[in-house]
Chain A
């Protein structure tokens, strides 16, 4: 016998947890199903960047919506998520890169977006005194920042449960099917049924979509990160580079996180990744050149989280183009963490109200499969 709920959310990452939480706020009783535990993969082990900076234009409205939630995150989840806002800075290493930055900011301004701001060498040095002196400037997004991803995802999960979501961890959702106007999902010995199903299964979401007849061009990747031992405070904003793969951030506790998208080899079925130290060495070399003070810092740990990357680098977000009551929320392509709070809010609006004021139409799965559903 199936237990009836208002919605079934598959995936306990930041996105599934946020959607479950926002559905609860809208008065629904969802079930959240996570095969491992909330935040086990990319959502719990990413770089924690809370970044509007350097985003693909189609996802900027969602990012801005999310930023508003981040700034009041404690009110939403009763946990500060270690969110700190010291801005994010994109560094141009030479004049050519600065010219690209200038064009980008002009393009955004023309579209009415003002969160990215071109900065010169002097302002760059003021924001990031430790950066190599040869860098001529860059772009800043001043409201951006960073949070602790595991703490954040856990907080969303906890709050969703407090507000009435049923949470099932450690058992995978199986046998997803639609009958009699309801979605049915088996979870171990239990079964749930609901009019709404949200596919927020991260690296595993592509398979679910394909099984339901909506395959999309997605691959599984595992971006690597490494962290240093505690060093005295020397940098406030998160720094990313224009030309090379690097993101760089110092936490309040003094540790410095080094990332940027070099990839490990994922073994998805084993929940395992094998790191590529020669690529991490490239990251280390970039830091060595950009931040001379970091040369004698010690790397204490490195890891990689498993996640989904779309061929076009933007997520799949919104209603299915084939099935009534099915919604997709995956494929965030290495930049989904900041979007999580806003995406959950917008997804709840799509589900409950049938629409949203936040422009997400460019993110739909209908870019791969023209919709066969009647509007």
Chain B
């Protein structure tokens, strides 16, 4: 079932089989480049098209037309000559374009002439009191279970946060007969005004009509509380209740499941570990890679496509994947590029796909109290470090996320900062009166996913290494 890569080197290695990766790999392979697509999940699709080839949710209306677009992308990929390996975890990528990948408990090394990173997004940390309790999950987690296993919430369920995904999930849960007791909308009231100047572009984007009808569908069936300014989960070893403040009034409701969501941010771990330069994005409140118009990063030969290049959504991801692949084709097999859509066409497709993004980013910019926690609220889930712990360390001299490791083990657990990095940067920036760009981020290193010692020990070694074993 798990097969190692057929070759040691490829023209193009694409990492991640979401919308960007699927499009990139198909484009690259169709142009005749030897192409390997590595993806960590059981099947292709990434998060947005999760389980596209295997979902038990067969009624097409339930997951919606936007989901089933993914089936066409997978179709194109399968029609191409791209080599595709699922359940392949890339754990190292460096500036020499050497890639280490774990497949079925064994690691292989492959080399690429070009790498297209399509590692997508993850949900922004939502560090509220009690967010580590069993029974508190992300909205994306619930959607993953819904798409791949037709599982729906059936206990007392609260959905809290903001953003398009939250409404889509709510609609899907209801269509599948699941239970939602209340939706707590944390969108800041001031954001509506801030977003107004960008409204025209949004009104003429495809998101508008779809979003509106979905919200109507949900609001007809579920009590929605807007203007939520505080949120906490509590319980003894298991979620028991959710309390919130809206319009200055506190309310506590019993709950078995709390689904949190306040947007998505680029999944930067592999890109940063490869040494790619990132900058703080003040609107999207996250780290985004520094890229040229074709997605090329600061490391020669590595391009980034999809939400890992900065959040743009699934449609933009597909186009960015095609742009990055076309750039690779232009570099490696210029003659073959003639058969691909022109770069100008692709760029205009991208502009269209990105329309309305500024409105969404402004409207759903999460409020500070939901990004920058205080007191005993856990910041680093792995090492169980609280906001107070971080602030105490700042008080005695910790200046940034890397220095903080000397005081507290933030970011040193298995998730390698994925669930605390943004929080730590913003928390330290606020405490020190600096910008997040000045404060910086964790220096990330391979393995970007943990690897078993026995697996590493079994990696073939070069002759020089074996000789070097004997101390000189």
Whether the complex brings A and B within 8 Å at their CB atoms is answered yes
A288 close to chain B: CB less than 8 A: yes
A301 touches B456 (CB 8 A): no
* A228 surroundings in chain B (CB, below 8 A): 453
Contact between chains at B468 and A158 (CB < 8 Å): no
* Contact residue among A40, A148, A272, A288 (Cβ-Cβ distance under 8 Å from B453): A288
The answer to whether the Cβ of A229 comes within 8 Å of any Cβ in the partner chain is: yes
Contact A275 B397 (CB under 8 A): no
> Chain A's nearest CB lies how many Å from the CB of B94?
5
Chain B, residue nearest A244 (CB): B469
Does A262 belong to the interface (CB within 8 Å)? yes
Kindly list chain A residues whose C-beta atoms are within 8 Å of the C-beta of B405.
150
CB of A114 closer than 8 Å to a CB of B: no
CA distance A228 to B414 in the complex (A): 9
| Interface pick from A131-139, A214-222, A290-298, A358-366 | A290-298
Inter-subunit contact A296/B406 (CB<8 Å):
no
Pick the contact of B447 from A245, A285, A297, A299 — CB < 8 Å? A299
How would residues 30 to 65 of chain A score, 1 for a CB under 8 Å from any chain B CB and 0 otherwise? 000000010110001000000000000000000000
B-contacting residues, A117-159, CB 8 Å: 148, 150-151, 153-154, 157-158
Instruction: Bin the interface of chain B by size.
Output: 35 or more
B60 part of interface (Cβ distance < 8 Å):
no
Q: Which residues of B contact A280 (CB under 8 A)?
A: 456
With A39-B406, A244-B470, A282-B461 in contact, is A301–B454 under 8 Å at CB?
A: no
A297 CA / B451 CA spacing, docked (Å):
8
The reply to whether A272 and B397 contact each other, CB–CB distance below 8 Å, is no
CB of B275 within 8 A of CB of A272, answer yes
A178 within 8 A of partner (CB): no
Interface residues of B in 389-439 (CB under 8 A from A): 396-397, 399-400, 402-403, 405-407, 409, 412-414, 416
User: CB distance B92 to A279 under 8 Å?
Assistant: no
- State whether the Cβ of A277 lies closer than 8 Å to any Cβ in chain B: yes
**Nearest CB in chain B: distance from A50 CB, A:** 17
Whether A282 contacts B466 by the Cβ 8 Å rule is: yes
Are A281 and B447 in contact, with the CB atoms below 8 A?
Answer: no
Which secondary structure characterizes the binding site on chain A?
mixed
Q: Report the Cα distance A169→B275, complex, angstroms.
A: 23
B453:A295 contact, CB within 8 angstroms? yes
Instruction: Tell me whether A229 and B450 are in contact (CB under 8 A).
Output: yes
Contact present for B461 and A299 (CB under 8 Å): no
Residues of A contacting B221 in the complex (Cβ-Cβ under 8 angstroms): none
- On chain B, the residues within 8 Å of A301 by CB distance are 412, 416, 445, 447
Q: Which residues of B contact A275 (CB under 8 A)?
A: 92, 94, 445-446
Q: Mark A285-312, 1 if CB is under 8 A from B, else 0.
A: 1111000001111111111000000000
Whether the Cβ atoms of A297 and B406 lie closer than 8 Å is no
A253 at the interface (CB under 8 A from B): yes
Q: Which residues of B contact A352 (CB under 8 A)?
A: none
Cβ-closest chain A residue relative to B462: A278
Q: Which residues 255-269 of B sit at the A interface, judged by CB distance below 8 A?
A: none
Name the B residues within 8 Å of A278 (CB-CB). Answer: 109, 459-462, 465
> Chain B residues with Cβ under 8 A from A279's Cβ?
461, 465, 468
Contact present for B406 and A287 (CB under 8 Å): no
A243 CB within 8 Å of chain B: yes
A182 CB within 8 Å of chain B:
no
User: What are 12 A-B residue pairs whose CB atoms fall within 8 Å in the complex?
Assistant: A37-B399, A44-B406, A150-B405, A154-B397, A244-B469, A274-B94, A274-B275, A275-B94, A277-B92, A281-B459, A296-B452, A296-B454
- The 3 lowest CB-CB distance pairs between A and B, nearest first, are A150-B406, A281-B459, A284-B456
